[in-house]
Structure 1
Amino acid sequence: MRLIQCLYQEKPRAALVEDDNVRLTDSDTYGLAQRALERGLSLAETVAASLGDQYLSYDELIESRLLLPPLTHPDPAHCLVTGTGLTHLGSADTRSAMHAKTQTDESQMTDSMRMFKLGVEGGKPAAGRIGAQPEWFYKGDGSCVVAPEAPLPSPSFAQDAGEEPELAGLYIIDHQGQPRRLGFAIGNEFSDHVTERFNYLWLAHSKLRACSFGPELLIGELPAHLEGTSRITRHGETLWNKTFLTGEDNMAHSLANLEHHHFKYPGFRRPGDVHVHFFGTATLSFADDIKVQPGDRFEIELAAFGRPLRNPLAASDQDEGLLSISAL
């Protein structure tokens, strides 16, 4: 089952994807999730019971820019956007090389390689056990999320504006403070790789950018092996194109381990909150020396998730300059 969210009569509404059309439900995704919790039903059961007879054209929603992220919170401050890095083994042709590097003497490893090695060796613990802690970062609250097809803004102080094709887990915290996963979506985690490359201590700065996920929410189990395509187009022509692998078979960490190390913090288990958690990338155009410019379009596609996630790049329309703080 795949779900989108769109504006209908100026209000968010969830809709079930049925080929080239979508079938409206009677609520937004957040409302359906709350209803499922209250009634003790699965999200899939709740969606099925909420369907009406109103169908909309998927293509017309895209053309009219009426798509929304497939999960939003009525108050963006109660949506936390986070992620983990160094989680993927890499594409098939580089995996053996990455494993070879983990055999390097510990004293010669970079901090990034040590973190990757921890994941390879302990990121998939046996059932009931806690595995290695991954790299973790914060991107912002719900206000940093851009809808599918909408421009991804890059601030004036950014040194780079690069895509990161990833899976994103979408969650709601139930009334008892227990995280509940609604499903998964394609994500573009979008980062400043020039800033990050200068010094890894600037990783936190490089992640405080916009992002996008969707357009579809995949409800149910995630396939263990997924092969997708990440591309950048410029003036309608392909500038860069590369396949990438994701899913647990292609990751150093299990999803359960990544979820544990995020939600183990009590502050991330506040009832009613929404969480969008990115699981890491396997490929970047930045690694191939691609320099994007405003107007370029990012396209990330995974067949199991239906339509691709597409966003054009937009430059900031203002120069923030020096921020001056005054005393109260």
Structure 2
Amino acid sequence: MDSRTLGTAAGPRVSALGLGCMGMSALYGPADRGESIATIHAALDAGIDLLDTGDFYGMGHNELLIAEALRGRDRDGVHISVKFGALRDADGGFAGYDGRPAAVKNSLAYTLVRLGADHVDTYRIARVDPDVPIEETIGAMAEEVKAGRVRHIGLSEVGAETIRRAHAVHPISDLQIEYSLISRGIEAEILPTCRELGIGITAYGVLSRGLISGHWQRDAALAPGDFRGMSPRFGGDNLAHNLALVDALRSVADAKGTTVAQIAIAWVLAQGDDIVPLVGARRRERLTEALGALDTTLTADDLAAIERAVPVGSAAGERYAAAQMAHLDSER
């Protein structure tokens, strides 16, 4: 497994692909616990050492699942990235974000218990709390670094100004943000800012939640609780338009001898050694396919063909519903 450094030389060295574990607990409908754990084991055995989670994924379920999967494994050989700050209610709804220093410390304490660990490798607030200056949130996280309970501080879905303000308080290892062939908003300002400051990127949504995986069907039935049913890109005319882009990408993949998913992940990998794609595989077969992207080398001609198939800005629909877009500092 190739590895990449997130951020400057002081940042963590992790596998070139990470495993995003959210779908094993929430937001994509029911998941099979045994298959989820088997998929985590398969990822570790393949050399993936970056596991990404959030304390609100399944309201703690995902952290407990990871802890179960890591029993008997070398914990120090795994880099666990945790997002915190999302408030939930008893019905599973979202109720805003809490970035107060007291909330930072409270959330971390619960996470360490659920993970059965004495530290988190990278800790990040899921979304900026509009009522708390980012300097206060990062300052509290920096105290946890000094205490040894956090190794690295990351950010999630923030814009260039917030990146600079946070980095001035404590070095930021990486920004976790959506980045794919049909979500390229970071290229204008956010990615250049990160590179100026020596901050890496952990890219989630590299297959746009399955939309550009090559496996999504126009008449796909969504399970109860699958949030894609409310995603603008998965509905009506938007879906038809976006799947036409996938068909164009499939022609490039076929010519290359890869799958659509592999060429989409390989494209993200090709955008720079400071970018680590997170693949959200919930099953071993999907993980195996994603790992094939590491063996897919894209030439200049390949990249040009991909660009023609899926031009910048060609996707139809926002990447989140309006209420969720309002929480994205990265979109302001």
Question: Shorter-chain TM-score category?
Answer: under 0.3
| Structure with more of its chain in helix, by fraction | 2
| Structure with more of its chain in strand, by fraction | 1
TM-score, with structure 1 as normaliser: 0.26
